[in-house]
Amino acid sequence: MAPIRPPAPASGLPPWQPLGDHLALDFLNTTATLNGGQVEWLGSGEALVSWLVTAGVIAKPPRFDRVILDEVARDAITLREWFRGVLERTKARGPGAVAAPDLKRLNAWLERGASFQRVEQTASGLRTVSVQPLDDAQALLAPLAAAIADLLCHGDLDLVRRCESEQCTMWFYDRTKSHRRRWCSQALCGNRAKAAAFRQRHRAH
């Protein structure tokens, strides 16, 4: 068995992989059990920004003070773990499991992402562009709140499932035609399960 590793510093993290097939689930999967150790991809402001860029949430790192970004990273983890609980409850008991305080919390995060329209002159005439004021570092979390809202309101939660591997905590949206996806990734958990089943059969003989 692999030794338990302490959480690695941001620079030494294994690469994060988009396995969730929905931004809200990719967000949940920013912490995972890998090789017997817990990995946290949002452990600092720098790590959060790096993940936001990798996941395509923002195009380039914003200019905020390190202390402020570290605080946003802590809030991101709070948002993520709150969502994990809400998702588990909603899957078990339906949308009624999302309580009024949950909605208040989610809506507050959504509000941070308020955008406004701006009119610009272009060669072909006037056009409007949507601008998101990014003077508030907390607004970095608004697209994640929007993804959570999208999943809860428009997603088919029967297709939102956890990887079947017992040691794995990854979530995914099953977009396969047959709706029989079982693993976060064939390479990570599918093959391991296959090997374990093989060993089990081998031992039985």
Residues that bind Zn ion (CB under 5 A): 163, 165, 168, 170, 184, 189
Whichever of 78 and 186 has its CB closer to Zn ion, that residue is 186
CB of 163 vs Zn ion, minimal distance in Å: 3
Minimum Å gap between C-beta 28 and Zn ion is 12
Compare residues 72 and 163 and give the one whose CB is closer to Zn ion.
163
Measured from the CB of residue 25, what is the shortest distance to Zn ion in angstroms? 12
User: What is the distance between the alpha carbons of residues 115 and 132, in angstroms, rounded to a whole number?
Assistant: 4
Helix 142-154 / helix 66-93 crossing angle, nearest 10 deg: 10
Q: Which CB, 29 or 50, lies closer to Zn ion? A: 29
Shortest approach of Zn ion to residue 158 CB, angstroms? 19
Q: Which of 32/72 has CB closer to Zn ion?
A: 32
Tokens found for residue 1: 């068995």
CA distance 2 to 33: 12
- From the CB of residue 116, how many other CB atoms can be counted at a distance below 10 Å? 9
Q: How far apart are CA 48 and CA 37, in angstroms?
A: 20
Q: Which stretches does DSSP call E strand in 84-191?
A: 116-122, 125-131, 160-162, 171-173
